[in-house]
Amino acid sequence: MKILDGNKLGTLIKTLHFRENEADNMEDKKLRQYWLNTRVLAKEETNILEKVDSMNSEDLFYSRYYWFNQFKTRYFELYGHDEGLEQQSFKMLEDFETRFPGVVNWNIIEQIENNSISAN
């Protein structure tokens, strides 16, 4: 299992000329970067799979879920709990389970949610 780190994602964002207007309105630099990382993984899946050696759809999902969890944690630190973000996490898991039935490794999800796993 491979989770793309921030440096690799930053390079991909530049290479793909990826832009997310919603991120432009975020004042907090970490929050903005976590959101960009999440969105590029969601919107540029095919391009990322072509450009990153040994990356597969499952790893891409875990990377996306990891960065969304980083975003959610930072958002909660800054603005307090938001049930909508919790719902997005569940929806992300549900969508992946629908797309790849029986593939989700719940141990990895738990590690991501407990911040006991890091990007590599």
Q: pLDDT of 10-37, one tens digit each?
A: 999 999 999 888 777 888 999 999 999 9
As a whole number of angstroms, the distance between CA 12 and CA 74 comes to: 22
Whole-number mean pLDDT of the chain? 91
- pLDDT by residue (tens digit) across 48-78? 998 888 889 999 999 999 999 999 999 999 9
Looking at the chain, how many residues does it have? 120
Q: Averaged over 79-91, what is the pLDDT?
A: 94
For residue 109, the Cα-to-chain-centroid distance in whole angstroms is 12
Find where tokens 């006991």 sit: 116
